[in-house]
Structure 1
Amino acid sequence: MNTDTLRIENLMPNSELPLLVRPLSHGMRLADAAEQLRQLVDSRLLQCGGFVFRDFIVESATEFKAFAASFGHPLLSYEFGSTPRTKVEDGVYTSTEYPPHQSIPLHNEQAYTREWPMKIWFYSALVAQRGGETPIADSRAIYRRIDPRIRQRFSEKGLMYVRNFGNGLDVPWTQVFNSKDIVVVEQYCRTHGIVCEWKDDGELRTRQTCQAVAQHPVTQDWVWFNQAHLFHVSNLEPEVRETLLEILDHEDLPRNVYYGDGSEIEDVILDEIRGVLDELTISFSWQTGDVMMLDNMLAAHARSPFKGSRKVVVAMAEPYSQLHSQNSTL
């Protein structure tokens, strides 16, 4: 592998996640370095979990898209998404469009399903005036740090995610499934192991039982791989949680999560999990033009609150299905 034109170093002290890669000469376009970067990713991504490519010239979402697609897998559409996004181009989406003052906890993309992308890329097109980082964490380290008793309970029981779409409280089902056709939605749910229920008001409720931990199909490493701490009602601000529970039954909350047998997950356990995530968070400032690439099973990502305009776009590729895997832990 020829890396004579690249500088490779740890971005953070004492951590290979993420590795920082920069050109040795000024004015190198990301596209021109793509072959070298692919070789580097092939040799080291499974060890470090993620890269930040910095100081390369990349000036548009189109260039970013071409770079992500150059790794050999078609870019994925955002199906059965959990948050509002806007399509920038085919295979390229805005990062989650939550209000700037809100933080988004660490998570692996689409870990609330049984199918997810193995690769995810972020392109920092515009850096916020303040904040707006995309913190990351090592999913293998999270797995090891979680109390073994909690890990065993989650692994044995699995998790059941319940979602109620629309009604002005969550993303409408037509956007989530990219279709207004009920038949299309029902077919998608059957194919993906999702139980769907049409309520009297015409809105949709889904339930899906998923993994809490998973084994990486290549490295065989075990990783903490779920969004229980994010979907659970305890993730809401106390006043929002109180208001919702005054007007809605638990089963009608926009989203919630239970153990796989339908029993309640204890708030105190989720608080302990959040504490581990906080301890293992790796945060760094974006620079305009940065591209971050993560193995989606080996590294989780988040979003910090920010002020001013911010634009980060995302691409995903290489779908993996636990529905057809022998490594299911349900």
Structure 2
Amino acid sequence: YYDRAPHSLFFWCARAAPIGGATPLTDLRQVYRDLDPVVRDAFDQRGVRHIRAYKGPGGGPNLDVFQFKRWHEVYGTTDKAEVERIAAEAGDELVWGRRDRLTLYSTHPATRNHPETGETAWYNHSQVMHLAATPRELMRQARRLQSLRLFGAACLLRVIASAKHRLVPADRQSYHVTYADGGEIPNAHIRHVCDTIWRNTVITPWRVGDVLAIDNASVAHGRTPFRGDRLVAVAWA
């Protein structure tokens, strides 16, 4: 959700997890081509708005399972002027709220053209940050790893996400994605996007010493849940 993303990513596996921990890779050009035209056109015409909200250093206990960090942990400073400078540099709209709450809005097209080939690629975080996507993706991982713990977490998260979606306005969510005009993206469209992404995803287990190079303009990456010790270093350019 940044205006300027790295062109290339490089990974090196120092320790591979005994279970899980792979780095899935997705061809974003094929995702765009495979989307249902109705879904694709809606995203093309309306764009996306990523919403992220964080409590501050003194914002009280964090009871929201969708919020992992506070804004001073994200930005590495408690200086609000410095936070505003970094957010402006990244192209984010920043709003300070009550009790030291910070909300960020990143508004972009849903796609980007490859800087060298000109191919259109799906390029947004709706499949990660939309409230309907998170429990669905966790459930998918629970099935892959046959993990009862993840299955239980996914069921609980689905209930919480559904309640938050109904009761809390989009601009007060800890994280969420809407169309750029603020309109809600239908859950069915998000499910279709997630399914299309997985159809174009390959997952190869890490082995110690493996090196992976990614063209960040056309290939997405992620990380599957894992058990045990894991160390994968990353650099970008």
- Tell me whether the two structures share a fold, i.e. TM-score over 0.5: yes
CA-CA distance at 1:193 after TM superposition: 2.8
What residue number does 1:286 align with?
206
The residue number in structure 2 matching 1:258 is 178
Which residues of 2 match residues 2-21 of structure 1 at below 5 A?
none
Partner-residue secondary structure (3-state), 1:116: coil
Is 1:267 the equivalent of 2:187?
Answer: yes
Task: Specify the alignment match of 1:65 in structure 2.
Answer: none
Distance 2:44 2:177 in 1: 15
Tell me which structure has the larger Cα radius of gyration. Answer: 1
Correspondence for 1:171 among 69, 72, 77: 69
Cα–Cα, structure 1 residues 285 and 193, in superposed 2: closer, same or farther, change >3 Å?
closer
User: One-letter code of the match for 2:18?
Assistant: Q
Map 1:83-122 to 2 at 5 A. Answer: 112-122=1-11
2:81 to 170, 174, 183: 183
- AA partner of residue 168 (structure 2): D
Specify the alignment match of 1:197 in structure 2: 95
1:157 to 1:308, Cα distance in 2 relative to 1, 3 A: same
Question: Could you tell me how far apart the structure 1 residues matched to 2:119 and 2:164 are?
Answer: 43
Residue in structure 2 matched with residue 299 of structure 1 by the alignment: 219
Flag the structure with higher helix content.
2
Q: How far apart, CA to CA, are the structure 2 residues paired with 1:281 and 1:255?
A: 24
Match for residue 215 of structure 1 among 107, 113, 118: 113
TM-score (normalizing by structure 1): 0.59
Deviation at residue 150 of structure 1 after TM alignment? 1.5
1:130 to 19, 26, 36: 19
Structure 1 residue 307, shift from structure 2 partner: 2.0
Pairing 1:308–2:228 present: yes
How far did residue 246 of structure 1 move?
A: 5.9
Structure 1 residues 30-71: Cα deviation after superposition (integer angstroms, max 9, x where no partner): xxxxxxxxxxxxxxxxxxxxxxxxxxxxxxxxxxxxxxxxxx
Q: Distance in 1 between matches of 2:164 and 2:29?
A: 39
Unmatched tracts of structure 1, length 5 or more = 1-111, 318-330
Retained in 1: the 8 A contact 2:115–2:217?
no
SS at match of 2:184: coil
Q: How large is the RMSD of aligned CA atoms in angstroms?
A: 1.9
Return the match for 2:168 from 249, 260, 273: 249
2:50 equivalent to 1:161: yes
CA distance in 2, matches of 1:302, 1:190: 26
* Structure 1 moving runs of 4+ over 4 Å: none
How far is 1:188 from its partner?
2.5
The question of whether the paired residues in 2 share the 8 Å contact of 1:120 and 1:316 is answered with yes
| C-alpha distance in structure 1 between counterparts of 2:69 and 2:227, whole Å | 24
CA contact (8 A) 1:170 1:254 kept: no
Matching residue's letter, 1:188:
I
Letter in 1 for 2:228: G
d(CA) in 2 for partners of 1:206, 1:235: 20
Please give the alpha-carbon distance, in whole angstroms, between the structure 2 residues aligned to 1:296 and 1:200: 37
Asked if structure 2 preserves the Cα contact closer than 8 Å seen for 1:161 and 1:255, the reply is: yes
1:275 is paired with a residue whose SS is helix
Provide, for residues 304-327 of structure 1, a one-character-per-residue CA deviation record: whole Å limited to 9, x for no partner. 22222111121111xxxxxxxxxx
SS in 2 for 1:292: strand
Residues 114 and 127 from structure 1, CA distance in 2 versus in 1: closer, same or farther, beyond 3 angstroms?
A: same
Q: 1:132 to 1:192 in 2, by over 3 A?
A: closer
| Structure 1 residue 241, shift from structure 2 partner | 4.7
Deviates more, 1:238-247 or 1:267-276: 238-247
1:180, distance to aligned residue in structure 2 (A) = 1.7
Q: Distance in 2 between matches of 1:124 and 1:217?
A: 29
* Residue matched to 2:125: 227
Secondary structure class of the residue paired with 1:134: coil
What number of residue pairs does the alignment pair up? 206
CA distance in 2, matches of 1:303, 1:189: 26
**Structure 2 CA distance for aligned equivalents of residues 239 and 275 of structure 1:** 21
